[in-house]
Structure 1
Amino acid sequence: MTFDRTASQRELGPRLLSAVTRLNRLATQRTRLPLPWAQARLLSTIESSGSARISDLAALDHCSQPTMTTQVRRLEDAGLVTRTADPGDARAVLIAITDAGVAALARARTDRAAGIDPLLDQLDDAEREVLAEATEIMDRLLKLASQRS
């Protein structure tokens, strides 16, 4: 495959996002998750943040603060997150993932990956290597994006 830089500027981003979205959808459809997908996604956000205010989580998830409060309460009731006082602002709380939340998230990730493993098994070694390299590149892009935030 040759790389046309002009065409790639217009097409690569949308193609990548489309492929990732479809792959995520496929993995979710083929899996019975230990918790609802929205909760797993929120747990993942909390895990990557370390801890976060509800208002920050709402902004990241593009929802209202009351909606996020309800979602966090569900995770808290299940023992997957905790609330602690924000040392920088006594009026605010920080949400952090618990050990049980980490375990539930790991189980959800493993179960979702199992949904696409049969497809990966159909690839030859060279194709799997290309995917491994592409994954490393995407991880690097995400790290760069997080450093700029």
Structure 2
Amino acid sequence: MQTESGASPGSQLLPVLSGLVDLLRQLQGPEQPSSVALTVLRLLAERGPGRVTDLARLARVSQPGMTQLVGRMEKAGLVRRVADPGDGRAVLVELTAAGREQRARTFAYHAATLDTLFERLDPRDSDVITQALPALIRLVDAGHAERPGHSPSGGEL
């Protein structure tokens, strides 16, 4: 499928999404965690406790790198390690109340930044973007449905 410009919708959307992701990664807010730490907080909030190996795979980082990150996050009180009830030899990482609060603060900061950017737009542009949100959500859901082992509704990692 191609648009009037001859480019596919995916090739037009990708640079825009990449720019938005870059913008969010570059935001410097209060106690701003790294983008990978934010991914870990999101995964644990949405899916529940998980193993370091699963977090590393889903965040697309090495297992040693994830182990180090989880250690730093644990020292900061954002996560804790708990015994896996299904396997006494394994350990799970779970979100703490402080981790939930950090995620909420970061989300609020990012949302406020985006709201400020929306205010700079022509109201028609803001309306068009807002009207496109349900379709973008369906696009994300369609992508999740294509990935085996992924549950958009959450659940264990």
Report the TM-score when normalising by structure 1: 0.80
- Report the count of equivalent residues: 145
Matched residue SS, 1:94: strand
Counterpart in 1 of 2:17? Answer: 20
Question: Once the 2 structures are TM-superposed, how far is the Cα of residue 124 of structure 1 from its aligned partner?
Answer: 3.8
1:51 to 44, 49, 52: 49
Matched residue SS, 2:45: helix
- Structure 2 regions of 5+ residues with no counterpart? 151-157
Comparing 94-103 with 41-50, greater Cα deviation is found at 41-50
Contact kept, 8 Å, 2:39 with 2:59, in 1: the verdict is no
- Distance across 1 between alignment mates of 2:70 and 2:28: 23
RMSD of aligned Cα (Å): 2.4
Question: Once the 2 structures are TM-superposed, how far is the Cα of residue 54 of structure 1 from its aligned partner?
Answer: 0.6
Question: Once the 2 structures are TM-superposed, how far is the Cα of residue 42 of structure 1 from its aligned partner?
Answer: 2.1
Alignment pair present for 1:92 and 2:95: no
Report the TM-score when normalising by structure 2: 0.77
Q: 1:84 to 1:30 in 2, by over 3 A?
A: closer
Alignment pair present for 1:32 and 2:29: yes
Calculate percent identity across the aligned residue pairs.
Answer: 35
Taking the TM superposition and a 5 Å limit, the aligned residue runs for 1:1-149 are 5-7=1-3, 11-37=8-34, 38-148=36-146, 149=150
Contact kept, 8 Å, 1:28 with 1:112, in 2: the verdict is no
Matched residue SS, 1:6: coil
Question: Once the 2 structures are TM-superposed, how far is the Cα of residue 74 of structure 1 from its aligned partner?
Answer: 1.0
Structure showing the higher helix proportion among its residues: 1
Comparing 73-82 with 43-52, greater Cα deviation is found at 43-52
Q: 1:84 to 1:145 in 2, by over 3 A?
A: farther
- Distance across 2 between alignment mates of 1:64 and 1:27: 23
